[in-house]
């Protein structure tokens, strides 16, 4: 069974959903697989699945911290979106003003709100499952809440003076079963008077924060097996952590563990950080290495190991409570109301609230994580009746000759722990977001089997906007604040005809296999270059076909120089010919019957130049010649010449000086041309 | 060889030979070498200064770009994470502190494939055969090592001629003149000792020259002919020099030829002076009174009736209009007098026996029509049965008879006619005949009465003017020598070959088996000199649909619709709009799709389409240089070595080469599963290559077509999308 350890790590998504013991490999004939064989098999498995899994776990975290998109906006995840568009019908623009005004009023009155009410739902610790650890023995832990006031440094002070004001102690239920909705009144709650937050006495208070301290006494069994069903499979990851933490409960039996967490109420700019809402605070054991405030980042360090920030919610102990600002002792809320978090999209959709506080003290965030028991359960309660689906993931590797099976009881994505809630959504999500693997759906009497294999055709090349890479090298992926990344913005409205969602689309297809595996990206998924300079095409240049002019500059110059080479053509003729050639090249005339029009256009465009350069007779010769070729009519000659005469008369000074100067140099000529044609 | 010969002669030089031919040869050689070296130095200096000015331009441009960058608002990259990565400089001395700077990494930018420079164009460009190898291609030592004979064979293709070869006999006009000039000094010295007589004569002449040292510019006008004369007579070098040069460079011609050449090259060039064959500028001060053909000569000979341009890039031969006929007779004569002073009153008052009604002219012009083919331009003729030609000249030349009775009641006004006006009059009378009002209006400086009077006077003069060579006017010369275009139609009789179209011109001969169009199996086009009723002409289509099926005769004949023939399908409408009902005129209209260049998924660069296209839609024309088949063979050898070829067979006579000039479609790669196909179409008399969509193509797809249909051999040298790589 050793070789299965790793699948545990692979699947260490760690979700609540119970992980089932894996059915072993297909090597049925071997009675007692030798150690080496197991080792080799394990190596093969690792080779296949380790890298992509690591990548997807990294991406999951990144998407939680700084989401590129929200899952709820995807069509197959619409059930994650709790917002309805029902209000849109009755919406008026004035409503927005009203709402803002109301909010303003509330904020002003906020300072008057007299109490901060904390109602504790419970203290959750992974290791302690209520099912196993008896309810009667350890039903609660002792919680102490202190108000920490960090004051401004005075000259003599070495560091900021800190005052701790105890606000009360409560017994908080340990790992309560949240499927049972307890009455709010029965839960322990604390009141902190708003007077405490008023600036007072000698020290100017810089910031206020709440310090939660949980004291837990209780008997622990040493082997720490949590769950009757649990096996080595999942616990592999926990083994080292437990060993490390053993310092906290070194002695067997009765011992006391202390967990602390701190949350900022008002920051040093006196901005309120805690709005009304439900919170879940990740607690840390006192012995755990403290997070230095200087380097507070999104990273979480647990047991000396770096953990993705939200991992703490599934790993470490958490405290859940409801926070409310009340105007009086009664329950009337006056503080700005945040939506109850449970109804929100759980997956990283609320970083706005979580960011400031989380930055202050690392292992803390608004209850926004995925995969906490309560939340998941609540979701299930709220949204759909619990599906008793069992999903068997069958990992195929070594050219599909080997396989390992893993089963789960929920519809969470094993790589990003996203609760997909529906089988269709799960499959679609896997296919769309984890294209390094190939997923094939096989119906199963107990639920579904998903065959997972490595996508050999995976194209890991960049598929984002190609301009991003080039236009701001080094900036495109920087996450240090908003960066303007494209010069153009496209608003796309696309309502494609979608086929009705059906699980059959995930079945393994015989012929379309190639098509399925190919990463198919249509459209302009590459960086284009200018054909003349090989410089990258900037996005705002996409629509101009710049290098495809009919009369490129070199050709314009070429026709002029070529005419210039004639020795038996006089300068007047040359100049008219050049002008005409440029005119024809510019407009690309193709038909004889365009010539009348072309000649008139020529007069309009170049008439002034012809008059100023004193070329009228040569122009007339040109027209007569065109007439000799049967390309223009006599009427056109008449009209063109009379137009030219009129232009000549309108000229401010009938360029007498131009007559003297002979042939204009080529560059002057070209400039003139550019002047007339822009 | 020449060099050794000279050396040997030098060693055995006899004192007598001091002034003999051997001595002269030696002088020629040393002077020549000196001049060459001088030229090289000068050239090097030129290169240096060019380099410097180029450098300067780069710097200026850089400054502009830098200034632009400064105005941009760029967010500084404050990176918390990268604090971990630092660069430290430690001097090792305690007094200098350690310098630390955070390390910032930039994303790697992939390099782009190699691209040889090329010039963009949207229409084919005909170039002459290169008889000299312009550069010896370099493609890496290893390739040349593998095939050492390649360069040799290449040079052999050009008969051993390589551009810029510093062979001994190389001499151009400039060096020639300088050489003669330098050698003249020796001749002067020689003269002192040798030609006593000549010297005396010279001195005599010198003495006879008037010399006014203190005089200002005033007498210069008087002097100038003398000075010029004396200068030229004094400086014109002796025959010995030319003899010596001729013996040194036998390929440059005989002594006489060299002398003539020298004369021609050193003839004093007065400012504004023009070669004798050039008509002076009609708008200039030196305008002369010349014949009509002379005034219009440049315009007639340089105009390309097919491109509507002068000295076009595509057609080496331009038909002159002299044999063109008028399609429709225009109403040329104003029936009403143009004003109170109109010449018509004069004529009327003279009570001509028959006042010519305008309509009647029809028959008369028919006559003109027929006789026009013999004369270089439409001329006036009298109707043979109206014997009004009182001033008809006795020679009976039909050219300048006047149709009206030229008799004036009042005395002719005495007016000066400048050369330009007179020339212009002759030009216009060929177009407007007896519409003097219109002619006067166009001349601008004369009234119609004056024009009429001039006409009366002219009729005799013009008639007496000697008839210029009526058959073929001389072609225009270029200063720089251009090789005469060789167009040899290789007719090997295989019927499935397509030949280039050349407008036929066989007067008074119907287009039968002797007509070049018929033998080349081409239709006669509107550019042919045959009549529009010619049996070999393509009639065009009368489609009302899109002309994209074989129902359309144009489509069937692999021709684009001719906007002057197909008048119902829409090919002759909506010049400015892209929405033409006829889908068979895309190449001529240049209705190309927007293409985008990016590194190919297959090899090197590739071309990608911006918008999706339907099957059979036109994508782009494959443009390039039009070269002869021979030239293509020569160039192909080099391209094969480069493993990159842009050659595309156009027809039996020509090949399109997009290597040096082309458009973006040249980057399309080869595929055995292409999404495009190429089709050579006849477009208004020119064969052109259209690239069309073979299937529906989506946005951003790379374009491929099958080279095999166009160039069988080049296949192995290009990026190929192979079967397995097809999605």
For the residues of B215-278, what is the DSSP string, one character each? --STTHHHHHHHHHHHHHHHHSPPHHHHHHHHHH-GGG--HHHHHHHHHHHHS---TT---TTS
Looking at residue B624, its pLDDT comes to 92
Q: Which of residues 477-506 of A touch B (CB under 8 A)?
A: 477-478, 480-481, 483
Q: What is the pLDDT of residues B697-724, one digit of tens each?
A: 888 889 998 876 544 443 334 444 433 3
In 3D space, the residue among A549, A528, A548 whose CA is nearest the CA of residue A538 turns out to be A528
Q: How many angstroms separate the CA of residue B298 from the nearest CA in chain A?
A: 6
- Cβ contact A548–B120 (<8 Å): yes
Look at the alpha carbons of B196, B199, B200, B201 in this order and tell me if their dihedral is positive or negative.
positive
Which CA distances in Å does B79 have to A475, B99, B103? Answer: 10, 19, 10
Torsion of CA B580, B585, B589, B591, to 10 degrees: 70
- What is the C-alpha separation between B463 and B382, in angstroms, rounded? 14
The whole-chain average pLDDT of chain A stands at 69
* Count of Cβ atoms closer than 10 Å to residue A295 Cβ: 10
Residue with tokens 């391209």: B639
Please indicate whether, in this complex, the C-beta atoms of B120 and A549 are within 8 angstroms of each other.
yes
pLDDT of res. A314: 66
Q: What is the pLDDT of residues A214-231, one digit of tens each?
A: 887 764 444 433 333 333
| Average pLDDT value for residue range A199-222 | 69
Tell me which of A470-479, B168-177, B275-284, B398-407 is least confident. B398-407
pLDDT of residue A673: 59
What gap in Å lies between CA B205 and CA B189, rounded to an integer? 18
State what percent of residues in chain A have pLDDT above 90: 2
Give the Cα separation of A494 and A611 in Å (integer).
56
Q: pLDDT at position B49, please?
A: 94
**Chain B contact for A624 (CB, 8 A cutoff):** yes
Residue range B447-475: mean pLDDT, rounded: 59
Lowest mean pLDDT among A662-666, B33-37, B318-322: A662-666
Cα torsion at B605, B610, B616, B620 (round to 10°)?
Answer: -60
Can you tell me the distance from the alpha carbon of B262 to that of B246, in angstroms, rounded to the nearest whole number? Answer: 12
Within 10 angstroms of residue A607's Cβ, the number of other Cβ atoms is 23
Q: Which of A55-64, A286-295, A511-520, A565-574 has the highest mean pLDDT?
A: A55-64
Total residue length of chain A? 678
Greater pLDDT, A550 or A623 = A623
Encode pLDDT of A126-176 as tens digits. Answer: 664 444 444 444 577 888 888 888 777 766 666 777 778 888 888 888 877
- Among A287, A375, A590, A491, smallest CA distance to B305 is for A590
**Reported confidence tier of residue B203, pLDDT bands at 50, 70, 90:** very low
Report the distance separating Cα B489 and Cα B499, nearest Å.
8
Q: Predicted confidence band at A462 (pLDDT cuts at 50, 70, 90)?
A: low
Dihedral sign, Cα of residue A605, residue A610, residue A616, residue A621: negative
Report the pLDDT value the prediction gives residue B607, as an integer from 0 to 100: 92
Q: What are the residues whose beta carbons fall under 8 Å from the beta carbon of B9, sequence distance 6 or more?
A: B22, B25, B26
Say if the Cβ atoms of B300 and A593 lie within 8 Å: no
Mean pLDDT, range B147-158, rounded to an integer: 79
A610 part of contact set with chain B, CB < 8 Å: no
Residue B224, min C-alpha distance to chain A (Å): 24
Q: Is the pLDDT of residue B55 over 90?
A: yes
Q: Is the pLDDT of residue B82 over 70?
A: no
Q: Which residues pair with B162 in a beta bridge?
A: B133
pLDDT for B629 equals 87
Across A341-351, average pLDDT: 36
Q: What are phi and psi of A144, to 5 degrees?
A: -120, 135
Q: Which stretch, A310-314, A448-452, A563-567, B204-208, has highest mean pLDDT?
A: A448-452
Which tens digits make up the pLDDT trace of B291-316? 888 888 888 888 888 889 998 888 88
Kindly report which listed range (A470-474, A554-558, B267-271, B691-695) carries the lowest average pLDDT score: A470-474
Alpha-helical runs (H) found in B544-645: 553-556, 586-589, 629-642
Mean pLDDT of B398-426: 61
pLDDT attached to residue A649: 85
Picking from B119, B296, B298, B379 by the largest number of A CB atoms within 10 A of its own CB, the best residue to mutate is B298
Write out pLDDT tens, residues B321-355: 754 455 445 555 556 777 777 777 766 555 444 44
Name the residue with higher pLDDT: A41 or B56.
B56
Mean pLDDT (chain B) is 70
Q: Which of A218, A123, A114 is nearest to A170 (CA)?
A: A123
The whole-angstrom separation of Cα A463 and Cα B101 is: 34
Please, which residues have CB within 8 angstroms of residue A266's CB and are 6 or more apart in sequence? Answer: A197, A207, A208, A272, A273
Question: How do residues A612-623 score in pLDDT, each as one tens digit?
Answer: 888 888 888 899
| A472 pLDDT higher than 90 | no
B670: pLDDT strictly greater than 50: yes
CA distance B390 to B403: 9
Mean pLDDT of A176-197: 70
Q: Which residues contact B106 (CB under 8 A, 6 or more apart)?
A: A473, A474
* Contact call for B597 and A528, based on CB within 8 A: yes
Whether residues A624 and B296 touch (CB distance < 8 A) is answered with yes
| Interface contact flag, A593 B307, Cβ < 8 Å | no
Alpha carbons B639 and B633: distance in angstroms, whole number = 10
- Provide the token pair at A296: 């507070």
How many angstroms separate the CA of residue B273 from the nearest CA in chain A?
10
The pLDDT of residue B211: 43
Tell me how close the Cα of B4 comes to any Cα of chain A, in angstroms.
41
- Tell me phi and psi for residue B442, to 5 degrees: -75, -35
DSSP letters, A231-245, are -HHHHTTHHHHHHHH
Dihedral, CA atoms, A99, A102, A103, A109, nearest 10 degrees?
180
Report the pLDDT value the prediction gives residue B305, as an integer from 0 to 100. 86
User: Is the per-residue pLDDT at B601 higher than 80?
Assistant: yes
Q: What is residue B45's predicted lDDT score, i.e. its pLDDT?
A: 94
Whether chain B has a CB inside 8 Å of the CB on A169: the answer is: no
Q: CA A400 → CA A36, A55, B322, distances in Å?
A: 20, 22, 83
Residues from chain B contacting residue A514 (CB–CB below 8 Å): 727
Q: Inter-chain contact B324–A629, Cβ cutoff 8 Å?
A: yes
CA distance A316 to A127: 9
A112-139: buried (b, 16+ CB within 10 Å) or exposed (e) per residue? Answer: ebbbbbbbbbbbbbbbbebeebeeeebe
């Amino acid at each position: 069974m050793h070789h299965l350890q790793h699948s545990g790590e692979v699947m260490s998504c760690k979700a609540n959903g119970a992980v089932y013991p894996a059915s072993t490999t297909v090597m049925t004939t071997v009675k007692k697989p030798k150690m080496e064989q197991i080792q080799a098999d394990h190596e093969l498995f690792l080779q296949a699945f380790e890298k992509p899994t690591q990548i997807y776990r990294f991406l999951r975290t990144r998407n939680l911290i700084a989401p590129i998109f929200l899952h709820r906006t995807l069509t197959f995840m619409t059930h994650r979106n709790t917002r309805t568009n029902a209000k849109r019908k009755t919406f008026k623009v004035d409503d927005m003003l009203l709402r803002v005004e109301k909010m303003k009023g509330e904020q002003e009155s906020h300072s008057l709100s007299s109490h901060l009410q904390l109602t504790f739902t419970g203290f959750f610790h992974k290791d302690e499952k209520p099912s196993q650890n008896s309810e009667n023995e350890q039903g609660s832990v002792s919680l102490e809440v202190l108000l920490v006031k960090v004051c401004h440094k005075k000259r003599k002070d070495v560091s900021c003076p800190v005052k701790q004001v105890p606000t009360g102690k409560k017994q908080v239920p340990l790992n309560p079963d949240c499927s049972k909705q307890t009455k709010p009144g029965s839960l322990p709650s604390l009141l902190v008077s708003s007077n405490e937050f008023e600036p007072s006495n000698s020290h100017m208070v810089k910031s206020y924060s709440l310090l939660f301290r949980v004291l837990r006494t209780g008997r622990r069994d040493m082997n720490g097996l949590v769950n009757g069903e649990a096996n080595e499979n999942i616990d592999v990851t926990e083994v080292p952590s437990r060993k490390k933490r053993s310092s906290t409960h070194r002695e067997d039996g009765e011992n006391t563990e202390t967990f602390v967490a701190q949350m900022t109420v008002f920051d040093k700019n006196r901005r309120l950080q805690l709005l009304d809402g439900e919170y879940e605070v990740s607690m840390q054991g006192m012995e755990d290495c403290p997070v230095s405030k200087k380097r507070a980042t999104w990273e979480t360090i647990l047991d000396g190991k770096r953990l993705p920030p939200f991992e703490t919610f599934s790993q470490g102990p958490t405290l859940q409570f409801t926070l409310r600002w009340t105007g009086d002792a009664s329950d009337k809320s006056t503080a700005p109301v945040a939506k109850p978090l449970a109804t929100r999209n759980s997956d990283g959709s609320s970083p706005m609230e979580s960011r400031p506080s989380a930055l202050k003290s690392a292992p803390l965030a608004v209850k926004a994580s995925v995969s906490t028991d309560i939340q998941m359960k609540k979701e299930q309660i709220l949204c759909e009746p619990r599906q008793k689906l069992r999903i068997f993931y069958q990992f195929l590797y070594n050219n599909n000759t080997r396989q390992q099976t893993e089963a789960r009881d929920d519809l969470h994505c094993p790589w990003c722990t996203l609760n997909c809630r529906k089988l269709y959504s799960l499959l679609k999500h896997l296919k769309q977001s984890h294209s390094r693997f190939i997923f094939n759906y096989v119906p199963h009497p107990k639920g579904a089997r998903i065959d997972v294999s490595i996508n050999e055709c995976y194209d890991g090349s960049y598929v984002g906007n190609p301009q991003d890479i080039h236009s701001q090298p080094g900036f495109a992926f920087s996450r240090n604040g908003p960066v303007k990344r494209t010069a153009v913005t496209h608003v796309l409205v696309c309502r494609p005809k979608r086929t009705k969602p059906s699980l059959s689309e995930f079945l393994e297809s015989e012929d379309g296999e190639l098509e399925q595996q190919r990463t198919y990206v249509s459209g302009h998924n590459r960086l284009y270059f200018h054909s003349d300079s090989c410089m990258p095409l900037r996005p705002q240049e996409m629509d101009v076909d710049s290098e495809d002019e009919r009369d490129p500059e070199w050709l314009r110059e070429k026709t002029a120089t070529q005419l210039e080479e004639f020795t038996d053509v006089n300068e007047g003729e040359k100049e008219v010919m050049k002008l005409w050639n440029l005119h024809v090249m510019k407009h690309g005339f193709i038909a004889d019957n365009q010539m009348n029009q072309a000649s008139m256009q020529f007069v309009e465009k170049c008439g002034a130049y012809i008059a100023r350069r004193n070329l009228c007779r040569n122009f007339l010769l040109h027209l007569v010649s065109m007439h000799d070729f049967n390309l223009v009519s006599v009427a056109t000659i008449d009209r063109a010449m009379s137009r030219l005469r009129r232009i000549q008369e309108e000229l401010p000074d009938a360029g007498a000086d131009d007559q003297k100067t002979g042939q204009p140099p080529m560059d002057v000529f070209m400039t003139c041309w550019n002047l007339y044609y822009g | 060889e020449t060099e050794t010969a000279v050396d040997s002669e030098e060693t055995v030089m006899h004192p007598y030979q001091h002034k003999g031919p051997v001595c002269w040869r030696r002088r020629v050689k040393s002077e020549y070498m000196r001049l060459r070296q001088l030229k090289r130095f000068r050239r090097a200096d030129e290169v240096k200064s060019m380099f410097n000015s180029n450098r300067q331009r780069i710097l200026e441009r850089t400054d502009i770009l830098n200034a632009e960058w400064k105005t941009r608002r760029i967010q500084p990259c404050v990176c918390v994470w990268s604090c971990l990565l630092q660069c430290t400089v430690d001097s090792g001395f305690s007094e200098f502190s350690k310098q630390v700077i955070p390390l910032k990494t930039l994303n790697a930018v992939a390099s782009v494939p190699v691209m040889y420079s090329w010039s963009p164009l949207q229409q084919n460009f005909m170039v002459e055969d290169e008889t000299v190898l312009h550069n010896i291609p370099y493609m890496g030592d290893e390739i040349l090592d593998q095939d050492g004979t390649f360069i040799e064979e290449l040079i052999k293709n050009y008969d051993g001629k390589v551009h810029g070869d510093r062979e001994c006999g190389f001499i151009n006009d400039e060096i020639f003149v300088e050489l003669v000039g330098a050698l003249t000094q020796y001749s002067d010295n020689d003269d002192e000792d040798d030609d006593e007589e000549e010297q005396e004569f010279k001195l005599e002449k010198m003495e006879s020259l008037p010399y006014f040292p203190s005089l200002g510019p005033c007498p210069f006008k008087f002097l100038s002919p003398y000075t010029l004369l004396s200068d030229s007579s004094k400086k014109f070098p002796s025959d010995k020099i030319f003899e010596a040069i001729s013996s040194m460079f036998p390929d440059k011609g005989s002594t006489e030829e060299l002398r003539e050449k020298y004369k021609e090259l050193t003839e004093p060039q007065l400012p504004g002076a023009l070669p004798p064959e050039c008509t002076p500028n009609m708008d200039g001060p030196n305008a002369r009174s010349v014949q009509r053909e002379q005034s219009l000569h440049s315009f007639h000979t340089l105009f390309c009736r097919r491109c509507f341009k002068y000295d076009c890039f595509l057609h080496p031969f331009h038909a002159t209009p002299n044999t063109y006929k008028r399609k429709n007779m225009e109403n040329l004569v104003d029936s009403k007098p143009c004003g109170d002073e109109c010449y018509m009153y004069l004529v009327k008052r003279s009570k001509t026996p028959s006042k010519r009604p305008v309509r009647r002219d029809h028959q008369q012009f028919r006559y003109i029509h027929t006789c026009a083919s013999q004369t270089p331009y439409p001329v006036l003729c009298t109707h043979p049965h109206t014997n009004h030609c009182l001033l008809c000249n006795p020679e009976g030349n039909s050219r300048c008879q006047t149709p009206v009775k030229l008799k004036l009641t009042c005395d002719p006004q005495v007016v000066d006619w400048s050369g330009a006006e007179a020339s212009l009059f002759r030009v216009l009378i060929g177009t407007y005949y007896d519409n003097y009002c219109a002619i006067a209006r166009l001349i601008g400086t004369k009234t119609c009465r004056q024009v009429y009077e001039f006409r009366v006077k002219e009729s005799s003069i013009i008639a007496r003017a000697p008839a210029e060579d009526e058959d073929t006017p001389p072609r225009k010369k270029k200063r720089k020598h251009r090789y005469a275009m060789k167009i040899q139609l290789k007719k090997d009789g295989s019927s499935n070959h397509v030949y280039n179209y050349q407008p036929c011109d066989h007067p008074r001969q119907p287009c039968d088996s002797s007509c070049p169009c018929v033998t080349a199996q081409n239709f006669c086009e509107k550019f042919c000199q045959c009549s529009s009723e010619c049996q070999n002409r393509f009639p065009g289509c009368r489609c009302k649909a899109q002309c994209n099926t074989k129902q359309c005769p144009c489509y069937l004949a692999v021709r684009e619709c001719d906007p002057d023939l197909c008048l119902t399908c829409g090919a002759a409408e909506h010049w400015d709009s892209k929405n033409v009902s006829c889908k068979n005129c895309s190449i001529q209209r240049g209705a190309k799709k927007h293409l985008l260049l990016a590194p190919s998924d297959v090899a090197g660069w590739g071309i990608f389409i911006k918008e999706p296209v339907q099957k059979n839609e036109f994508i782009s024309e494959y443009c390039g240089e039009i070269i002869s088949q021979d030239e293509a063979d020569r160039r192909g050898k080099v391209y094969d070595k480069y493993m990159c070829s842009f050659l595309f067979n156009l027809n039996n006579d020509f090949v399109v080469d997009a290597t040096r000039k082309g458009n973006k479609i040249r980057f399309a790669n080869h595929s055995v599963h292409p999404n495009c196909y190429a089709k050579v179409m006849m477009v208004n008399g020119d064969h052109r290559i259209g690239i069309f969509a073979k299937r529906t193509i989506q946005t951003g797809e790379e374009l491929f077509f099958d080279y095999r249909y166009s160039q069988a051999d080049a296949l192995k040298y290009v990026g190929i999308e192979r079967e397995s790589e097809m999605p």
